[in-house]
Structure 1
Amino acid sequence: MRSQHPRRIDVHHHIFPPSLLQAKLDASTKVGFRTPPENLPWTPELSITTMDALGIDTAILSYPAGIPNGPPGPGLCAKARELNVMAGKICEDYPRRFGFFACVPDPGVWGVRGALDEITFALDSLCADGVSLPSSFGQGPEAKYIGDDAFDGIWEELDRRKSVVFLHGTQTPSSTPYPNDFLGLPITEVPNETFKAAAHIVVTGKKRRYPNVRIILAHLGGSTPFLAPRVAMLSNYMGCTLSPEQIIEDFKSFYYETALSAHEVTLSAMKSLVGPERMLYGTDFPAVNKSTISWYADELDKFYAKDPESLHQICQQTALELFPRFA
């Protein structure tokens, strides 16, 4: 068991229910990543055992980005309802160990009504702690990034509710195959999808239009801390009405969680972009094993070894400010 303090609240912790297991196994070669076999089949009890070993008090559960999958319509809405009810039951059974971000069905071309109905049900009836959104909805040339005008109705509702949103990149392939078996989509493409979605929200002005939504970017925002200055000047040059300074300001207004990303290099970049009050702890369990999580946790602890207050803020306090019911 890890002996370091403070205790941790994990805001990036997935549910891999039995209904998704075979699809996940079938997709492993296609996306170039394999879930540790000891983490399958996933159960809440498996997570709790791992959390106890890693010094994690509470985990905010979410489904992988792009779940539920399938064509937009009533059937997909029914899938989302089933998954959210399942997550709500887990939280009911283990109220101090788990919270959850509700999944949202793909609104598709038929509108956002189904997504809004699910958000209402999940937040009001299931007491979800927020909503998880993928970087984009749809596939191929029909895909739309989450800042698209088509989704304004969703953002308006989330802004009205002052909701927390967990934004996670999708496993969208690039125009060429991933370059190596060691560099599958979750390693190379997912972090860039998170960045593209965040940048889209910024340059379209949606981050300013919906300021009450607290958006957490997965994996320290992917490539966001490194590419934000590129967007600031070049998007302005290309016609974005926001000044470079305003664009950087909007990137600073996101929250960033540490899953699979904490290292001196990335944490130094984050320290210059945002303070610890905008950072949270994450693991990405069960997509990775305990030793991988421990390596990143050790890197985080080492970076803040002389600043325990900032470490406490990242590991626990920022999450308690967003999710005060766990205080």
Structure 2
Amino acid sequence: MAGASRIDMHQHLLPPEFVSALERHGMGAWAPAGWSAEGALAMMDAHEIAAGVLSLSTPGPCLGDESESRLLTRQINQRLAELVKGRPDRFGMFASVPLPDIDGSLEAIRHAYDDLSTDGVVLLASHQGTYLGAPAYEPVMAELDRRAAVVFIHPTHLPGPPAPGVHPVLADFLLDTTRAAISLVLNGIPKRYPNLKIILSHAGGFLPFAAYRVANLANVIDKDLSYSEVLDGLSTFYFDTALSSSPSALPSLLQFARPGHIVFGSDSPYCDDKTIAFFADGLDRYEDLDPEGHAAINRRNAEILLPRLTAR
């Protein structure tokens, strides 16, 4: 691991409790086979990743009734905390919450911060067709703001059938993240809760490319929404580079994101080594970034968000 420098803010785990729950609910195909902490460390060593912040991917912990979802959330978060405790130099954690269960989510946040010393929280972009800016989720956003939380937003399946022949990961996931970001801004979440530090997966979906369109048309649709207010809200987000550090995506992301608001992401183990290498190498080869810019995206911006990982 000589020279390892990256901090991976978009890395997933598949603990046995989650895999068993997926299989119980007929969703086993959603879990890449054979995940282990040892395998994650080997992947990190191969791609010069000094530390990885682990989170649960879609479909999240809400696979059954409320009681089952709360129990699974607790088991996953405790498993995450054990991994971090065993290798604090290599792993961080974004705790899961059982949204749309508000009371269960508030308890999960309390447990994660007060008992498990979590680094942040992962939220799915939508739940049963309701996006994160909805008034129903206000208590969760208020509590996360009180905790000055780093919030990692990950997409899930759109509220509707997929397009025949087009797998959801090809386009739907990008739209889900974009919808969540717009929902948060149009409902004033970043403005009301300025302590939140929200990271959008996969370079924010379509957001950097479409931000000025969104700001202009939001003002046309609703005159109470000013162009500058919407654009400023959209620019408060952080963005990871998972599956996105390409010659076509990086210019848009770098043009839109605020300085210090881009972090490295691998999307392992849902991406294989070849795909991770393709996008990591694309970032390394990008000539419009100077050495300071590369260092900021690969590591320094993440250290500012999560100081515990500094100097690992």
Q: TM-score under structure 1 normalisation?
A: 0.88
Q: Match for residue 231 of structure 2?
A: 248
Q: Match for residue 272 of structure 2?
A: 289
Q: Choose from 158, 171, 180 the match for 1:197.
A: 180
Q: How does 1:21-32 map to 2 (within 5 A)?
A: 21=19, 23=22, 27=27
User: Partners in 2 of 1:305 and 1:236 — Cα distance?
Assistant: 33
User: Partners in 1 of 2:194 and 2:11 — Cα distance?
Assistant: 26
Q: Match for residue 44 of structure 1?
A: 37
What one-letter code is carried by the residue in structure 1 that aligns with 2:66? Answer: G
CA contact under 8 A between 1:6 and 1:311: conserved in structure 2?
A: no
Q: Match for residue 81 of structure 2?
A: 88
Change (3 A) 1:306 1:10: closer
Q: Choose from 132, 143, 152 the match for 2:138.
A: 152
What one-letter code is carried by the residue in structure 1 that aligns with 2:104? Answer: G
CA contact under 8 A between 2:4 and 2:49: conserved in structure 1?
A: no
Q: Match for residue 7 of structure 1?
A: 5
Change (3 A) 1:240 1:295: farther
User: Partners in 1 of 2:92 and 2:223 — Cα distance?
Assistant: 38
What one-letter code is carried by the residue in structure 2 that aligns with 1:126? Answer: L
| Secondary structure of the corresponding residue to residue 58 of structure 1 | strand
Q: How far is the alpha carbon of 1:16 from its aligned partner?
A: 1.2
- Taking only aligned residues, the RMSD between alpha carbons, in angstroms, comes to 2.1
Change (3 A) 1:240 1:7: farther
Q: Which residues of structure 2 form unaligned runs of 5+?
A: none
Q: How far is the alpha carbon of 1:173 from its aligned partner?
A: 5.8
Q: How far is the alpha carbon of 1:172 from its aligned partner?
A: 2.4
Q: Match for residue 291 of structure 2?
A: 308
Q: Match for residue 164 of structure 1?
A: 150
Q: Which residues of structure 1 form unaligned runs of 5+?
A: none
Q: Does residue 134 of the first structure (1) align with residue 127 of the second (2)?
A: no
Q: How far is the alpha carbon of 1:325 from its aligned partner?
A: 0.9
| Secondary structure of the corresponding residue to residue 11 of structure 1 | strand
Q: How does 1:155-234 map to 2 (within 5 A)?
A: 155-172=141-158, 174-175=160-161, 177-180=162-165, 183-234=166-217
| Secondary structure of the corresponding residue to residue 277 of structure 1 | coil
Which region of structure 1 is more displaced relative to structure 2, 123-132 or 74-83?
74-83
The C-alpha deviation readout for 1:59-112, integer Å capped at 9, x for no partner, is 00000133102345233111100110011111111111001000001234xxx2
How many residues of Structure 1 are paired with residues of Structure 2 in the alignment? 308
User: Partners in 1 of 2:259 and 2:281 — Cα distance?
Assistant: 17
CA contact under 8 A between 2:245 and 2:282: conserved in structure 1?
A: yes
Change (3 A) 1:240 1:116: farther
| Secondary structure of the corresponding residue to residue 271 of structure 2 | coil
Change (3 A) 1:290 1:305: farther
Q: Match for residue 55 of structure 2?
A: 62
Q: TM-score under structure 2 normalisation?
A: 0.92
User: Partners in 2 of 1:250 and 1:123 — Cα distance?
Assistant: 27
Identity %: 34
User: Partners in 1 of 2:223 and 2:301 — Cα distance?
Assistant: 32
CA contact under 8 A between 1:203 and 1:240: conserved in structure 2?
A: no
CA contact under 8 A between 1:147 and 1:201: conserved in structure 2?
A: yes
User: Partners in 1 of 2:285 and 2:258 — Cα distance?
Assistant: 17
CA contact under 8 A between 1:173 and 1:189: conserved in structure 2?
A: no
What one-letter code is carried by the residue in structure 2 that aligns with 1:250? Answer: G
What one-letter code is carried by the residue in structure 2 that aligns with 1:60? Answer: V
